[in-house]
Structure 1
């Protein structure tokens, strides 16, 4: 996704249920999309390496249903992990429970796993976000730890899951 997708990003963030584990359920404003989300996305976006927000559409109707994030773990810290790719997802509530997040995340892992420099794929979530934890388990990730995640925009306790890059040439 890129700057031209501001409306899509805005639409997705309007559902309080979608935003519940992100910021307590507050819809994002257009200003937040344009001055926070898009600049952050552009900071880690690298099409050659597959980093960015991958738009997810249905195959049958090509309807936009959400996105999957792929970027180095701890990207917005002093010690980003270039060999550890963080995956995250956000989907319209109408699509929840249908396997879209896990299918999309697995396809992204498959695409990126040919890069032998990537040692693993990771994800974090609020420990009460059972749906996201379910996706992590479904894509083969295992629990590593619970810790205090610090990002320039927020700080919270999260569970950390990971799967090794098992790509074989």
Structure 2
């Protein structure tokens, strides 16, 4: 599927490939303590780590087949970088199962961008990429992210506990998994179109 991963447009967003020119965007994103609160406890991430480890890891997805990976998100009206989404297979996931994730700048919170981008990726996955099940994970206490998952059509599956090298505030409450199957997604679309 060459080209499937180039650009995806929604009503208010352009989802595009990340490039090395996004380094400053990623440094700003990963150094906002509120953005990173549920990821690393809000600690800053060194520019060198983002340049030498994070960005090459994100860009490497474009070499893989299937059009999965990371999308930089820009607001159409302003062209402003607001964060990124990922839609990719997890290590050891069964075929057809894809993980959804997102990391958005604080000024973009509460505006429905997370839901809008997530729904677009889910629809593409189910209609064009052979996806059978979408999963998403976050800390149990991350109510904002959980709301995005629910508004995107995913349903709560379970709470689970992992051993992390360093615990962060709220980790004692565990992690949550949400998921949506293609059959559930299709049933939801059919029921809303018959109303």
TM-score by length of 1: 0.84
CA contact (8 A) 2:89 2:98 kept: yes
- CA drift of 1:141 comes to 0.5
Deviating more after overlay: 127-136 vs 59-68: 59-68
Matched, 1:131 2:140: no
Structure 1 CA distance for aligned equivalents of residues 163 and 95 of structure 2: 18
Question: If each structure's helix is expressed as a fraction of its own residues, which one has the higher value?
Answer: 2
Residue of structure 2 in register with 1:32 after alignment:
49
- CA drift of 1:32 comes to 1.6
- Structure 1, unpaired ranges of 5+: none
Number of residue-to-residue matches in the alignment: 163
- Which stretches of structure 1, 4 residues or longer, exceed 4 Å deviation after superposition? 153-156
Question: If each structure's strand is expressed as a fraction of its own residues, which one has the higher value?
Answer: 1
Larger Rg, first or second structure (1 or 2): 2
Structure 2 CA distance for aligned equivalents of residues 116 and 150 of structure 1: 33
TM-score by length of 2: 0.74
- Structure 2, unpaired ranges of 5+: 1-17, 187-195
Structure 2 CA distance for aligned equivalents of residues 45 and 21 of structure 1: 27
1:77-92, aligned counterparts within 5 Å? 79-92=92-105
